[in-house]
A = this chain, B = another copy of it.
């Protein structure tokens, strides 16, 4: 009998989908200038961009989000060896749910509907690992945690999570 495969809960926005870049683009579209990293570092996205709450309700915001570099090939490799679940705190924005599911199908076609979770609070998630860009999600998780660097979580640290700068570092962790 083999051991059950480790289960990895992978966040979507800020880990697979580059919503930080999407916020920058929408802000530039509306205000004609691109914010610098210094302006948004350490600030929650909904606070850093004055129109953010309008943007996330615009049709297409989640559907056209860029893919975070190397997430596709590394997640595919993890998917082959582990039980991968995509866990997105998305019920705050209900209209985003179909867009998010279509986006996943386009960019991560190996992820089936069985592996998708759209929730509000991630305290209900049971897994061995969680990869997320929000302290609020990782802090309540009982397993191993990986903090995925994003502008909004820069300049902050609580010493409880292993921070990675990108997907190649995630790859290193699961191959070491």
CB within 8 Å of B: which residues of A?
A: 7, 9, 85, 87, 91-92, 94-95, 97-98, 101-102, 112-121, 123-127, 142
Contact = CB atoms under 8 A, between A and B. Distances in A.
B126 A113 contact: no
Contacts of A126: 123-126, 142
Contacts of A91: 101, 113-114, 116-118
B119 A117 contact: yes
Contacts of A7: 124
- Taking the full assembly, how many copies of this chain does it contain? 2
B120 A94 contact: no
A55 to B, nearest CB: 18
A172 B141 CA distance: 32
Contacts of A121: 85, 114-115
A118 B101 CA distance: 11
A120 B116 contact: yes
A124 B119 CA distance: 12
A113 B115 CA distance: 20
